Chains A and B, each alone.
Chain A
Amino acid sequence: MRRPLAYPLLFLLLFPPPPVSAETNTYTAELKESAKRLRLQEHRYWHALLHYKTGVFGTESLVDDRNFFLSPRGKTDPAAELDAAIDGFFAQGEEEQTLPRCRFPARYDWLIQRLAADLSRLPEVSCRTLEENLKRIDAKSASLVFASGHMNAPASMFGHTLLRFDSSYESPLLSYAVNYAARIDRRDNGLAYAFKGIFGLYPGYFSILPYYDKVKEYSNMDQRDLWEYRLNLTEDDVRRMVLHVMELQGIYSDYFFFKENCSYDLLFLLEVAAPSARLTDRFRGFTIPIDTLKAVRSEGLVSDPVFRPSQARKIRHMASSLDEANIRKARSVLDNTVSPREILADGMPDTTKGRILDLASETIQLRYAKRQYTKEEYLKRFLEVLAARSTIPGTESGLSPLPVPEPPEGGHGSSRVALAAGIREDDVFLEASGRPAYHDLLDADDGFTPGSQIEFSRATVRYYPDTGRLRLQQWDLIHILSLAGRDTFFRPVSWKFRTGFATKPFPGGSDALVFSLNPGGGMTWDTRPLGLVHVLLEAEVNVAGKYSPDYTGGVGLVAGILRPMTGSWKILLEARQIFGVLGDEKRGREFSAVLRQGISLHRHHALFVDVGRTVSPGLHYNEAKFSWNIYF
């Protein structure tokens, strides 16, 4: 249910408080005087409460909603806002939403304490709705929750964070979760969606909802694992944070996908709870959620996490406890070719029957969430399976505990620089490269989704000492790859997308900088002995003056194997053939084969060894390269 938004500022402007007494006037002046003496307008905590940031253009609050400020100049003037807040002490009225002290309880708690305000000289206020909400939330402690990557959406590897207020209930499902998100418009298409998200045209709002709703959303719908980090905060710290969340009800800030995003705005809440922590100042260019978790960890605010596996991970784990024949039985229950009662009549041990039916019911739920069943189909199958399941008594699953992966903050840093030496045919070269974010297929998987890659703006400069040639060898604006394994229960489509510039050799010893666009789609199978076996159909467009006409368009196929050899050693073997079909068809044809190996030496260091051969009409060369990668 949505509550009407409140407009306290507007209300105050339209209906100014009744004339004030002389006593009020003196006390207002007194409080303002002591606020000035204490220089509260410059206090770090005042700036945290109002989300002020100081930059080259002066001080400004990142909150864009006028209703967040009591002074019309509040967004850019911390002192004016402080004066207005002190005036707000003396506001009177019945309507709670128009009383500054009820509307902005965290500000006033702090001011009362800092100014040692004499409550007997202030008008009495009672904030009933606020008190009810506080009682209902009943926050005793708090957790930071990190949602890890979706299996088939590499961009989700950046993660998402939310905050949870834990109550006196034992069950975390009854906690409340605070989330900051852009409020998007359903009618927007993909282009508008992306544009608005990046350039701050969507408003970002805080929400507070029962944690069970968030678990449904992330674990069951999005199939993302959750990591729950208990914050080292006292009950008083947590109370300040809850009060601040109450202040942010219905208040928007412009949402910027790269910086002022879901994770960045949560950091303000943490700074309100733990005033000594320096969090928001660490992020200037852009904010990657996992990096905010690392920052919170380095401030000593969290300890080891509790892992909440996604439904997909649970299904895979259940399936791993059954043999092929029994997995097929679960599958036939799903497909409605075998009834749950027939499973019961089978001569298997009860625990096996239970597991088959549990696997079936979880998967039925997952398929309904993915809209593969209508509601009628879902309800019929789900209840039939559960009714049969309930006749197998016992409350033990007998399943081995689900293996917990490496926690996300234990992974390599998002940025990487590398130095390399290599040889192309007879020419020795040296390379330097760097990328701001995020994960390469050959980087160590710990904390990331295996088979996923997402890299932004990876640039490589190459130098041939013998000829003195210096080239921008490669600049991938974006390179995404998702190799998601298919099995009995999951049938994801693997896909890739790459666009950027690369220096390509042309016959006769010359070369040219080429712009390419290269999408692809296909399938991957997670086979035990071989690893991730994948086949993708690709399209490729290359543009450069050296082509005649100026471009090539091709289609082709890439097939390969990605296999972890040990915990720290991975190999990728890939062959790729592109046929030119448009433009400079001849030059568009290219075959290449590569063997890449990644060996991580340490969380922040890795060695890559690449060998490959490329063949196109009138041109063929071998290349080998050895590189040292440093993550930070």
Chain B
Amino acid sequence: MKRILGIVALTLIFATTSFAAETGGLAHQNTGCGLGTMLFQANANDSSLLQAFQATTNGTLGNQTFGISSGTSECTQPKKFVQNERLNEFVYANLDSLAKDIAQGRGESVQTLAELMQIAPERREGFYRNLQSHFTEIFPRENVEYAQVVDTIVLLSSQG
């Protein structure tokens, strides 16, 4: 059985090499503390057999380990919610989805945000509306950093 698989596999290899341009794999761009930094980016070489092959082998480039608490230490820390490490990590890692959900006034990331901030279920609808109407204060510039976003959100929720 293993030998047959080996033969099949070898054929696949020769097939693969003719298409393989480069192994790019995943690039986890976690440099920076603002928008557009924590997205996984696809291999530029998008539709080759190689990618098809990678999909099954599911390789990682060694940047995924035991990330039980992920670091936000290279960034400026928020002023208010210093105690809430989970909130900081979540906002840091999901800033782009949060921006989208806040603008739309709904979505899984604002729901998660509300839960992490312990907003009571009956107050959440109002919380979402409040954030939505202050979008440009939460995200005033393209280079806004996550700590400022947390600070603004905390301030808004204490007023609302």
B39 & A368 in contact (Cβ 8 Å cutoff) = yes
Return chain A residues, CB-CB under 8 Å to B25: 184, 186
B142 & A285 in contact (Cβ 8 Å cutoff) = no
Q: In the complex, what residue of chain A is closest to B37 when comparing beta carbons?
A: A375
Return chain A residues, CB-CB under 8 Å to B2: 285
Complex Cα spacing A456 to B11, Å: 11
B58 & A194 in contact (Cβ 8 Å cutoff) = no
Return chain A residues, CB-CB under 8 Å to B89: 210
A25 to chain B, nearest CB (A): 36
A183 & B59 in contact (Cβ 8 Å cutoff) = yes
Residues 60-119 of B at the A interface (beta carbon under 8 Å): 60-62, 64-71, 86, 89-90, 93-94, 96, 99-100, 102-106, 108-109, 111-112, 115-116
Complex Cα spacing A375 to B11, Å: 40
A171 & B112 in contact (Cβ 8 Å cutoff) = yes
Per-position contact with A for B35-52: 1 when CB-CB < 8 Å, else 0?
110111110101101111
**Contacting B8 at CB < 8 Å: which of A208, A369, A478, A519?**
A478
Return chain B residues, CB-CB under 8 Å to A44: none
Q: In the complex, what residue of chain A is closest to B46 when comparing beta carbons?
A: A370
A213 & B11 in contact (Cβ 8 Å cutoff) = no
Return chain B residues, CB-CB under 8 Å to A624: none
Return chain A residues, CB-CB under 8 Å to B132: 390, 393, 395
Interface size on B, residues (CB 8 A): 82
Decide if A155 is an interface residue (CB 8 Å cutoff).
Answer: yes
Decide if A322 is an interface residue (CB 8 Å cutoff).
Answer: no
Decide if B15 is an interface residue (CB 8 Å cutoff).
Answer: yes
A343 to chain B, nearest CB (A): 13
Binds B, one of A57-65, A98-106, A174-182, A586-594: A174-182
A136 & B69 in contact (Cβ 8 Å cutoff) = yes
| Given the contacts A3-B66, A181-B58, A390 and B102 also touching, CB distance less than 8 Å | yes
Decide if B120 is an interface residue (CB 8 Å cutoff).
Answer: no
Return chain B residues, CB-CB under 8 Å to A394: 105
**Contacting A261 at CB < 8 Å: which of B58, B67, B103?**
B58
Return chain B residues, CB-CB under 8 Å to A221: 26, 39-42
Complex Cα spacing A484 to B32, Å: 36
B103 & A155 in contact (Cβ 8 Å cutoff) = no
| Given the contacts A183-B59, A262-B58, A480 and B52 also touching, CB distance less than 8 Å | yes
Return chain A residues, CB-CB under 8 Å to B146: none
Decide if B155 is an interface residue (CB 8 Å cutoff).
Answer: no
A395 & B105 in contact (Cβ 8 Å cutoff) = yes
Query: What is the interface of chain A mostly: helix, strand, loop, or mixed?
Result: mixed
**Contacting B55 at CB < 8 Å: which of A156, A209, A286, A383?**
A156
| Given the contacts A207-B65, A368-B39, A456-B8, A156 and B16 also touching, CB distance less than 8 Å | no
**Contacting B112 at CB < 8 Å: which of A133, A156, A173, A396?**
A173
A210 & B70 in contact (Cβ 8 Å cutoff) = yes
A541 to chain B, nearest CB (A): 12
Decide if A10 is an interface residue (CB 8 Å cutoff).
Answer: no
Decide if A354 is an interface residue (CB 8 Å cutoff).
Answer: yes
| Given the contacts A173-B112, A478-B15, A153 and B55 also touching, CB distance less than 8 Å | yes
A305 to chain B, nearest CB (A): 17
Return chain B residues, CB-CB under 8 Å to A365: 39, 96, 100
A371 & B128 in contact (Cβ 8 Å cutoff) = no
Interface size on A, residues (CB 8 A): 95
Decide if A629 is an interface residue (CB 8 Å cutoff).
Answer: no
**Contacting B52 at CB < 8 Å: which of A155, A354, A361?**
A155
Decide if A600 is an interface residue (CB 8 Å cutoff).
Answer: no
Return chain A residues, CB-CB under 8 Å to B11: 477-478, 499
A181 & B59 in contact (Cβ 8 Å cutoff) = yes
A212 & B71 in contact (Cβ 8 Å cutoff) = no
B40 & A369 in contact (Cβ 8 Å cutoff) = yes
B100 & A181 in contact (Cβ 8 Å cutoff) = no
Q: In the complex, what residue of chain A is closest to B109 when comparing beta carbons?
A: A173
Decide if A234 is an interface residue (CB 8 Å cutoff).
Answer: no
What are the 4 tightest A-B residue pairs by CB atom distance, in nearest-first order?
Answer: A190-B20, A390-B135, A156-B55, A184-B59
Residues of A at under 8 Å CB distance from B?
1-3, 133, 136-137, 150, 152-156, 158, 160, 169-171, 173-174, 176, 179, 181-184, 186, 188-191, 193-195, 197-198, 202, 205, 207-210, 212-213, 216-217, 220-222, 249-250, 257-258, 261-262, 284-286, 354, 358, 361-362, 365, 368-371, 375-376, 378-380, 382-383, 386-387, 389-390, 393-397, 456-457, 477-478, 480, 482, 492-493, 495, 497, 499, 517, 519
| 12 further A-B pairs in the complex, CB-CB below 8 A; given A285-B2, A387-B136 | A136-B68, A193-B50, A194-B13, A222-B55, A257-B57, A261-B57, A262-B58, A365-B39, A368-B36, A397-B104, A499-B11, A519-B15
Residues of B at under 8 Å CB distance from A?
1-2, 4-9, 11-13, 15-20, 22-23, 25-26, 35-36, 38-42, 44, 46-47, 49-62, 64-71, 86, 89-90, 93-94, 96, 99-100, 102-106, 108-109, 111-112, 115-116, 125, 128-129, 132-133, 135-136, 139, 142-143
Complex A-B: 18 CB contacts under 8 Å: A3-B66, A171-B112, A184-B59, A188-B23, A190-B16, A190-B17, A197-B59, A205-B60, A208-B66, A216-B38, A220-B39, A257-B57, A362-B100, A371-B44, A380-B142, A387-B103, A390-B136, A395-B105
